[in-house]
Amino acid sequence: MFGLSSDCIVHVPEKYYTLSDYEGNVPRWCPSCGDHAVLTAAQKVCRDKQLPPEKTVFTSGIGCSSRFPHYMGSYGFHGLHGRAFPIACGIKFRRPDLHVFVATGDGDCCSIGTAHWIHAIRYNIDMTVMLLDNEIYGLTKCQTSPTSQKGTHSNTHPRGSILPPINPISTSLGVANVSFVAQTVDWNPAHLYSTLLAAHEHPGFAFVRILQRCPHFSADVFEAAAADADQLLLMTHENGLQLEKHVARMYKNTIEHDPLDMHEARALAGTEERIPIGIFYQNKENERYDEFGMHNLGFTPEQKEAALNAELDRYAV
């Protein structure tokens, strides 16, 4: 942004957006909720990419994490439970100038909104998706989520949940036309930031699952992983996340994984012994439905009138 360009002219932007330009209301999440870290990382991505707040729309469904747009200084759409994806797709469909983000939770995305999630992956409309996955329903007070581990004690399953969880990464990787799938954690701000930045820069539907701690209802779920970096598996590659050395050094378990390798991506997604973080899969060549949506923008009134009259001619008596 700052500095000398090759023609030695200093570009001073008309307006430089600071972090405070992306701040909205004071967050009302619980102290030590993982959502705070995600909010900060998203605001930093906006600042570092200098996204004009008026050209940026944060969309969400319903749930704790779906309060996200209220805490941003951009435009926001806090919609309906499970429906963030179709709303976000509609926003972007004919507005190439807008930067669209979706904040969604595990209930919102992987339960009530599952059909929309699957199809949004397939539409591959350009947007950044943050699945804040705490493996529990928080806002409605501790019900089992589709990503809750089997045996989770909750208000709907006081004797332990019955079914194994959905794996959001495996599920996403199984959808036709999937173009970007990554995983990160709320307790490593640098990795979180790098992942969201890569997702934002991806031309298409970028899906990021963020393991997010709920201090109130699922505090124990990621406790061990947050305390012990060895429980994580860092995916690295020249086409993957470019982490600073001191961040990468934290993880002794690493694997060289090419994000174009879908076969290995699916194998890694199913790994149970360690939690892989980084980019599982990225393909910039996939069909983008927003390109179809935007192929005929900007008709003038005269063009529209001519089109209507041509139609009326076809049906003329």
Partner 1 sequence: MLDSHMESFNDSIEKTEKQVFSIEEHIVEIVSDSGEGAQKCGQSFGSISAKMNNGVWTVEIIPAEIQPPARSRAGASGNRIRIGSHTITNMGDEADLVVAFNEQVLYSRIDQKAFKKGTIILLENKWIESNIPEIRQQYSETLEELRANGYDVYEIPMEKECLKLSENPHQGKNMWVLGMLCFIYSRDLEKADAQVLQTFYKKSQKIIDSNLGLMHAGYSWAKKYLGFQFHVPPRQETEPMVVMNGNQALGMGTIAAGIEVCSMYPITPATSVSHYLAETFESAGGVVHQAEDEIAAIAFAIGASYAGKTALTVTSGPGVALKTECIALAVMAEIPLVILDVQRGGPSTGLPTKVEQGDLLATIFGQPGDAPKIVMAASTIEECFHFVVLARKLAETFTMPVFVLSDANLATGVQPFPRPNFSPDWLSPPVDQSPWKKGVRPYEWDEETGISQRPIPGQEDGMFVLTGLAHDEESHVAYESSINQRASNRRSRKLAAFHQTLNPPVINGQAEGDLLIVGWGSTRGSIEEAVKRVQKAGGKVSSLHLRFLSPLEPNLKEIFKKFKKVMTVEINYGDEPHDPLITSDTRRYSQLAWYLRAHTLTEVDYFSNVHGRPINPGSIENRIRKELDL
Binding site for partner 1 (CB under 8 A): 24-25, 52-55, 57-59, 69-70, 72-80, 83, 85-95, 97-98, 115-116, 118-119, 292-293, 295-299, 301, 303-305, 307-312, 315-317
Q: Closer to partner 1 at the Cβ: 227 or 308?
A: 308
What is the smallest separation between the CB atom of 159 and partner 1, expressed in angstroms?
32
What is the longest distance spanned by two Cα atoms in the chain?
78
Half-sphere exposure of 259 (CA within 13 A, CB side): 27
Instruction: Give which of 109, 56, 80, 88 is closest to 289, Cα–Cα.
Output: 88
CB of 117 to partner 1, least distance (A): 10
Q: Are 34 and 79 in contact (CB under 8 A)?
A: no
42 vs 211, beta carbon nearer partner 1: 42
The distance of closest approach from Cβ of residue 48 to partner 1 in the complex, given in angstroms and rounded to an integer, is: 19
Minimum CB–partner distance for residue 62 and partner 1 (Å) = 8
* Cβ-based nearer residue to partner 1, 62 or 277: 62
* DSSP symbol at 241: -
Q: Which of 37, 12, 15 is nearest to 210 (CA)?
A: 37
Buried b (16+ CB within 10 A) or exposed e, 249-269: eebeeeeebbbeeeebbbebb
Q: Which is nearer to partner 1, 76 or 165 (CB)?
A: 76
Helix axes 114-123, 84-93, angle to 10 degrees: 30
* CB of residue 116 to partner 1, shortest distance in Å: 6
Report how far residue 294's alpha carbon sits from residue 285's, in angstroms, rounded to the nearest whole number.
Answer: 18
By C-beta, is 7 or 315 nearer to partner 1?
Answer: 315
